[in-house]
Amino acid sequence: MYRERELRGSTTATRRPPLRRGRVSQRLPVPEDIPKPPYVGSRELPEISSEHQIHDAEGIARMRAACELAARVVDYAGTLVRPSVTTNEIDKAVHQMIIDAGAYPSPLGYGVFPKSVCTSVNECMCHGIPDTRQLQDGDIINIDVTVYLNGYHGDTSKTFFCGDVSESIKRLVKVTEECLHYGIAVCRDGALYRKIGKRISEHAEKFGYGVVDRFVGHGIGTVFHSEPLIFHHRNDKSGSMVEGQTFTIEPILTLGSTECVTWEDNWTTLTADGSPAAQFEHTILITKTGAEILTTY
């Protein structure tokens, strides 16, 4: 298989030192005058809302504003990626840009998540907590940004290269981004949710990559996480999309196993075999004839 050839041929991909947790600093303050999501201040992880996020014209305008800010922030964060930079430094810069825009960094205080952005390096699938670990030449890092602006959340992520990355990992990252756009391409009013996972899986399988089934896309709007849950693997999920609805698509692909282990912090989730993982995410708006990517500018 394609993936087996890549694993045999890429010592860089398979022999990198395993990810180790650094020190996590105190959470950063947010000015009192910035509106905060209702979950802030509670240590309980909010339940997934059963209410689909379907918007009128004003709601769509607010979603566009929140999503555009998130897109600008994640691209700015990407410019900071280089060897020796810590994920904590990226978190500080992201935090400052978001509050300077009058928005709240949605991950901060979600349950007990202590930081303003998720930074997932190498074999970390998702939900990595920024800390004092320095990025190394050849690393990849997914930066996942969500902002809460004028009562609406905008959510996006990208995987960035740090220095000189191996060709096999570059290909994994490229195909993961392609999978996101293939998934978006099947979306429109009336389309079945399960088409997303089918299309993503078809493309990933051409390259022998695994599609992680544990983590899903989700409805988003005035609520951070709601129905519908969007499965990126092949599935039999019922239901169809509705014009005016917003949700995320955020596939994670792996070079090896899709099995995962979660650290004691209950957030940081790694591939069980230590193989690299990549992720991309957009928030989209369903239209009559297709889908509009909101996390762009």
Binding-site residues for substrate, in ranges, read 127, 225
Kindly list the distances between the CA atom of residue 47 and the CA atoms of 104, 105, 129, 266, in Å, as whole numbers in the listed order: 20, 19, 21, 16
Provide CB contacts within 8 A for 34, sequence distance 6+.
99, 102, 103, 104
Q: H helices within 80-230, ranges in order?
A: 87-100, 167-185, 194-206
Annotated binding site: 127, 144, 155, 218, 225, 250, 281
**What's the angle, vertex CA 111, arms to CA 107 and CA 116, rounded to 5?**
20
Whether 297 contacts 256, CB under 8 Å? no
- The length of the chain, given as a count of residues: 297
Whether 264 contacts 160, CB under 8 Å? no
Look at residue 55 and give its three-state secondary structure. Answer: coil
Residue 140's nearest CA partner among 157, 155, 120, 156 is 120
Annotated binding site for a divalent metal cation: 144, 155, 218, 250, 281
As given in the structure block, the two tokens for residue 253 are 């692909």
Place of tokens 């860089």: 12
Angle between helices 167-185 and 2-9 (to 10 degrees): 150
Backbone angles phi and psi of 57, in degrees to 5: -60, -40
Look at residue 58 and give its three-state secondary structure. Answer: helix
- The C-alpha atoms of residue 44 and residue 169 are separated, in whole angstroms, by 37
